[in-house]
Structure 1
Amino acid sequence: MRLFVYSMRDFDEKPFFDTFCKKYGVEYGYTAETPCLENTDLAAGYDAVDIITTVISREMIDRFYALGVKCISTRTIGYDHIDWKYAKSLGMGVTNVTYSPASVADYTIMMILMGLRKMKHIMMRGDVQDFTLRGKLARELPSCTVGVVGTGRIGETVIRNLSGFGCRILAYDMYQKDSLKGLCEYVERERLFEESDIITLHAPATEESYHMIDGAALKRMKPGVGIVNCARGALIDSDALIEAIESQKVGFACLDVVEHESGLYYFDRMGEPLGNPRLAILRSYANVIVTSHMAFYTDEAVANMAENSILGAKKYIEGAENPFAVV
């Protein structure tokens, strides 16, 4: 199989692609450029393309298809940036990856603690040498009820990590796990919204989950609720969240993902307009922490992403059973 890799980072990804392509007998080419209509020709002669979070439109899919590309492999868990249904209608394969759930789970716990302890506010005040206590009084995690939306591999790991803090844990998922019995209480999503002091999101971006945190959901929540999102930006209605922060309904928000982040994150935009005014507003609040889709970023996860994106494409091209196929 011949694989063409877009958005290659030579400082972390390339050594893993060298290792795993050699291991699995895959010939590969690459570019640091993100895929776009102007550089689709780079994939000519390759069986599959390997991408990250760049939006892959129908026009780009048509170009790849015309070049003979048979599979689009994204080295991310989410695949909502690909018009995957259209690709499959042309007979193209689409694959995604799994990676170490500890990466995002660890980051989530960090974000919860930073939000609870008002860490951004403390650090901002410290930068101007204001070492007073006013406005910095925090809550302790063991006294809180934490609601976990989505109990896949990452959500389950978050729950296991949280269980060591002694807090009450509520969970919502369409598919309940016996392995989590005794660690959390599965409830309906509405009850989770109503009873949780902190809500952390670990659901995929689908038509059903789009804006699950909207104005109506926020009204059901406790005053001063904390919201953590290390999953997908589309899960939260940004306008509704901003309104709830302004009204102090939301006590803190910690966001590793935001709506319409494509084209911003993983690029140097210093000195440029963001083109995302809601992100600019969210970043301005002392009780909101915004990071640039970093939760996944560990050496274990990057290795998993490279290896599994290669395997997903290889298995599709060879017609083998494929745990990474998007269906």
Structure 2
Amino acid sequence: MYAVLGDELPYIEKFAAVTGQQITKLTDYLSLDNVQLAKGYDAVVTQQTFDIPDAVYARLAEFGIKQITLRQVGYDILNIQAIHKAGLRASNVAAYSPRAIAEYTLTQLMNLIRHNKKYYRTTTAGDWTWKVGGQAKEIHELTVAVIGAGRIGSALAEMLHALGAKVLAVDPVYHAQNEAFLDYVSLDEALKEADVISFHTPLNDQTRGMANDAFFKKIQKKAYILNFARGPLIETEALLKNLRSDKLAGAALDVLPNENDFMNRVQDPKTVPADVQELMAMDNVLLSPHVAFYSDLAIKNMVEISLKDAVALAQGERIENEIFY
């Protein structure tokens, strides 16, 4: 089991005790440099944002391993075609806690519209005055476009609807039950009407870089952008251009295209990429270290579901979370 974090240990140890499985815990991400450590095992589980080289799959197959399992939702780090070519099967944890991410998205939206970053900065500097332009919008006044109305997007939509917001959804897959709390519309309609645009869509060839210059030209002035899905959905320079010009009212980002350069480590803020430094300096931009998922329930489910599925795949069984393409 690669890339194990301390908060996962109790759940890993409990699974091993209950099932009798031998689980070796490694702290490094799975890579070509350490794939040999999987030799002699029946299954591999990892969690990471770094791409896994195709050569890793071939090595796993050489070791007699029949699968690779991610304990996360996003699987854009995998080359599914190369995995199948190597004779392996793959799986992810498609839903470990949609509410965790939805709740965090809602939290950051509230922080944005209440200007909490600016007020925290000024009050800690001794300035307790109200600011012109610092008054808040209220949730029930907003129209929110949810780009991707799957488990996470629909959970957020339901919360927003309960608070009185109008919710628009853009998704190629229609779920009739969602009509109780959202309206399905085209992307152009959503961008034209939305005060808030929140991304909850997978990263693929169609969605990579979808928030580009052309995208931002279609949005309302003073809209908010939220990304709690995948960093490369948004072109950072296009985002910055619209923040600098005040076309955007603000942004909350839990993911960034270049996050592997600095995420999950401690470093001097001046050493992170220049575009990230610029975002950090803005009062109307909230950055967080890819933690929207990070709840007790999510960690428990990620560990237990991934280990259960890894064992099942290794034994040649069918599972709900298998990735086919």
Classify the TM-score, shorter chain: over 0.9
* CA distance in 2: counterparts of 1:89 and 1:9, whole angstroms: 31
| Residue 21 (structure 2) pairs with residue 26 (structure 1) | yes
Task: Give matches, 1:34-113, under 5 Å.
Answer: 34-53=29-48, 54-97=50-93, 98-113=95-110
Which one of the candidate residues 302, 308, 318 is aligned to 1:311?
308
Q: Pick from 228, 231, 245 the counterpart of residue 230 of structure 1.
A: 228
Question: Which range is displaced more, 115-124 or 33-42?
Answer: 33-42
- RMSD of the alignment, in Å? 1.6
Post-superposition shift, 1:133?
1.2
1:298 is matched with 295
The answer on 1:265 being equivalent to 2:260 is no
Question: What is the match of residue 213 of structure 1?
Answer: 211
- Displacement of 1:184 in angstroms is 1.3
Equivalent position of 2:187 in the other structure: 189
Q: Which moves more between the two structures, 191-200 or 313-322?
A: 313-322
| Superposed displacement of residue 63, structure 1 | 3.1
Mapped partners of 2:314, 2:46: distance in 1: 17
Amino acid in structure 1 at the alignment position of 2:45: D
The question of whether the paired residues in 1 share the 8 Å contact of 2:254 and 2:289 is answered with yes
CA distance in 2, matches of 1:280, 1:65: 42
> What is the one-letter code of the residue matched to 1:41?
Q
1:174-223 deviation digits (Å, cap 9, x = unpaired): 11211112311110011101100001111011111111211111110000
The Cα offsets for residues 59-96 of structure 1, whole Å up to 9 and x where unpaired, read as 33333333333211111100111223211211111110
Q: Secondary structure at the match of 2:160?
A: helix
Gap regions ≥5 residues in structure 2: none
Query: Which SS does the other structure have where 2:264 is aligned?
Result: coil
Asked whether the 8 Å contact 2:97–2:297 carries over to 1, the reply is yes
Structure 1 position 168, deviation (Å): 1.2
Q: Which runs of 5+ in 1 are unaligned?
A: none
Q: Distance in 2 between matches of 1:290 and 1:103?
A: 17
120-129 vs 248-257, greater mean Cα deviation: 120-129
Q: TM-score, with normalisation over the residues of structure 1?
A: 0.94
Quickly say closer, same or farther: Cα 1:270–1:44, change in 2 above 3 A.
Answer: farther
**Separation in 1, partners of 2:64, 2:275:** 40
State the shift of 1:26 in Å.
2.4
**Structure 2 SS opposite 1:169:** strand
Written as runs of structure 1 = structure 2, the 5 A alignment for 1:135-214 is 135=132, 136-214=134-212
The 3-state SS of whatever aligns with 2:260 is: coil
Deviation at 1:8, TM superposition (A): 1.0
Deviation of 1:270 after TM superposition, in Å, equals 4.4
Q: TM-score, normalised by structure 2?
A: 0.94
Query: What secondary structure sits across from 1:37 in the alignment?
Result: coil
Match in the other structure for 2:5? 9
- Alpha-carbon displacement from aligned partner over 1:241-291 (angstroms, at most 9, x marks no partner): 0111111111100001111212532223347723x3322222221110010
The answer to whether the 8 Å contact 1:223/1:250 transfers is: yes
Question: Contact 2:112/2:251 (CA < 8 Å) preserved in 1?
Answer: yes
Q: 2-side partners of 1:303 and 1:152: how far apart? A: 21
Equivalent AA in structure 2 for residue 86 of structure 1: A
Paired residue total = 321
Query: 2-side partners of 1:71 and 1:266: how far apart?
Result: 27
- The 1-side partners of 2:91 and 2:4 are apart by 18
